[in-house]
Chain A
Amino acid sequence: MEAFLHQVFSGLATGGIYASLALALVMIYQSTNHINFAQGEMAMFSTYLAWSMINGGMPYWWAFLLTVLVSFVVGAAIERIIIRPVEDAPVLSVVTVFIALLVIFNSVAGWIFTYTIKTFPSPFPEQPLFGNRYISSHELGSIAVTLLVLVALYLFFRFTPLGLAMRAAAQNPLSSRLAGIRVGSMLALGWGLAAAVGAVAGLLVAPIVYLEPNMMAGVLLYAFAAALVGGIDNPFGAVLGGFMVGVLENLIGAYVIGTELKLTVALVLIVGVLLFKPSGMFGKVFVSRV
């Protein structure tokens, strides 16, 4: 029982990280109908940035904050400079740009920081908190940070005029412009926020998977699975999907197929959802009359 609970809790911890990255994917998908395949690599690069700052002697939380801020700016800049020119291009061209971004971030990280695996510090104590036996401090801490980020995003989108304008711009760009909303700025802002959320996910997952240029490959797959399970156009679904995928992955890995095959869980989920319920649990079903 104790082992089972431990699996569930640590599943929730990684699930929260998948949820954050899935949310970043959904945020961009909602406003552009594109999946940013480079989301994971952008998060990985942010993590290296934080690693350099921490190695340079900066306290963890300052490095955390600064990294999130820089990621936001870089994310917005990528939208403005790289994505904007291909905005109206055919889907395949856009996908190519995303893949190019992925490869570029991956190679540049390898070039600057080498492919050697590095440890990444956790800001939380090594001893489990409150003397519990089920969950490590880092896991508990990352659940807390994830929830904080999710709640902050929810409040922002739900209750601020800017959040409302961003939702409006994603939903109906033409009508938004008629109301005086600068849709282009909203898109850049969305990319910035997605990159910032991704950076948080990268920083939280790095102590678990270790820091190396390919560290987000698996995480991104799980995040895809999470977003698809929840419904690619539904932020709440993506978050819930993230936690579900995290727990499922751990339980199936521990009791059914073993840790070596864990990643297949994500792939099976992706293929399964696409085959049997492409809209996911909470996604919008598109019906077209012919």
Chain B
Amino acid sequence: MALLEVTGLHAGYGAADVLRGVSFAVEQGGITAVLGANGAGKTTLLRAVSGMLGRRGSIRFDGQPIEKTATEDIARLGVAHVPDGRGTFLDLTTEENLRIGAYTRKDRTTVAQDLERVFTYFPRLKERRQQQAGTLSGGEQQMLAVSRALMLRPRLLLLDEPSFGLAPLVVQDIFGILRAINAEQGVSVLLVEQNAGLALDLADNAYVLETGQVVMSGTTEAVRSDEAVRRAYLGY
């Protein structure tokens, strides 16, 4: 059974819907990528899943309907969302940012272990442990955002354009660790990306979103080999 199953999702910010009947799934332990151009509705899709805006349709997480659940309760179910813009707590230290990620967890020992674990993933964050998060570079803040999400011990990780505005080397670094997290901890991932090549390298399944509707879906191989996708999103 799929961990996240979305059917006929409509969502938007007011009068007009941005998403118009989107259906997709994230398999247990799988990585699903959603590709699309600017304005296709990728960010809206993630926001709708975590209940940050009004939505209609069915969203099931682990078989349980969550389309009426509040954002903080969805997080408590084990859905960690790395938002668009990274959502860093700029005035708090790196460590405090990470501790906020673990806020819902009561067991101090495992939280301390996980803190060490994200520091091994991203040693840069350990160096900047007591530094104000607002002073971190864009890449470091993205690492922090991913780490903060991991501190929740999520079952599902929602990633909103983790490559946005970052140097290629940093991107490689972060995507390598995402792969490791998925493989080692079995965290399922829903990834939204403009950089289609990058996303397809990481994911097992992909959906292509155009103006609020899914226009193509399938395994990454199938999507990659599609003529139209190749021309529009991969550029060759």
Contacts and interface: CB of A to CB of B under 8 A. Distances in A.
Nearest to A169: B100
Given A171-B89, A172-B87, A181 B100 contact: yes
B190 interface: no
A153 to B, nearest CB: 17
B203 to A, nearest CB: 22
B100 A176 contact: yes
A167 B90 CA distance: 11
Interface in B89-134: 89-92, 96, 99-101, 103-104
B29 interface: no
Given A174-B52, A178-B71, A180-B152, A161 B103 contact: yes
Interface string B64-80: 00000011110110001
Nearest to A167: B92
A179 interface: yes
Contacts of A176: 100
Contact of B100 (A174, A179, A182, A183): A179
Interface size on B, as a range, is 20 to 34
Nearest to B97: A168
B96 A181 contact: no
Contacts, number: 63
Given A161-B99, A161-B103, A164-B100, A178 B50 contact: yes
A175 interface: yes
Given A178-B83, A180-B76, A182-B72, A171 B92 contact: yes
A165 interface: yes
B42 to A, nearest CB: 17
A198 to B, nearest CB: 25
B55 interface: no
Contacts of B155: none
Contacts of A175: 83, 87-89
A182 B72 CA distance: 6
Contacts of B73: 180
Interface residues of A, number: 17
B10 interface: no
Given A164-B96, A165-B103, A179 B75 contact: yes
Given A161-B103, A164-B100, A165-B103, A178 B91 contact: no
Contacts of A161: 99, 103
A210 B150 CA distance: 55
B92 A178 contact: no
A168 B90 CA distance: 10
B75 A164 contact: no
Question: Chain A CB within 10 Å — which of B92, B100, B101, B104 has the most?
Answer: B100
Contacts of B101: 179
A179 B91 CA distance: 17
Interface in B30-85: 50, 52, 70-73, 75-76, 80-81, 83
A116 B210 CA distance: 72
Contacts of A168: 89, 92, 96, 100, 103
Contact of B104 (A164, A172, A179): A179
B157 to A, nearest CB: 12
A84 interface: no
Given A174-B83, A177-B75, 5 more contacts: A168-B96, A171-B90, A179-B104, A179-B148, A180-B103
16 contacts: A161-B99, A165-B100, A165-B103, A167-B96, A168-B100, A171-B92, A172-B88, A172-B89, A172-B90, A174-B87, A175-B89, A178-B81, A179-B103, A180-B75, A180-B104, A180-B152
Closest CB pairs A-B (n = 9): A175-B87, A180-B75, A180-B104, A177-B71, A180-B76, A177-B72, A178-B81, A168-B100, A179-B100
